[in-house]
Amino acid sequence: QVQLVESGGGLVQAGGSLRLSCAASGRTFRLNSMGWFRQAPGKERESVAAIGLTAGSTSYADSVKGRFTISRDNAKNTVYQQMNSLKPEDTAIYYCAAGPPMPTAQLMGVRGYHSWGQGTQVTVSS
């Protein structure tokens, strides 16, 4: 298990940007796939972006492609999500998650992740 702490959420106007960070505990961060998920009120949790063990292994939801970028810094045990051109529909609680190594095609599956952070609220006003 990995302990995860998200930060960087907040209130932003439509068209603005935010950068989420997720700090992980433990020595095995570099061996974990990492993902960002979100849940809006009354909706199910959905995958947003995920990254495998290497920077080239990334996957994005269609709704955020071209606007969000996921990255990881193994030296800092941290995964990031840069969010640009934010829209009101991006409003949700954003969760960071850690999972085992997995193929790129499986990175976006919610059930593949075993450790979750507490979430950080992102609110985009119109």
Q: Which residues pair with 83 in a beta bridge?
A: 18, 68
pLDDT digits (tens, 9 = 90+) for 91-100: 999 999 999 9
pLDDT at 50: 98
Residue 71 pLDDT exceeds 90: yes
pLDDT at 27: 82
The token duo for 73 is: 């810094």
Residue 1 pLDDT exceeds 90: no
DSSP state of 15: T
> Rounded to an integer, what distance in angstroms lies between the CA atom of residue 66 and that of residue 86?
11
Residue 16 pLDDT exceeds 90: yes
Amino acid at 84: N
Maximum separation of any 2 CA atoms in the chain, in Å? 41
pLDDT digits (tens, 9 = 90+) for 32-50: 999 999 999 999 999 999 9
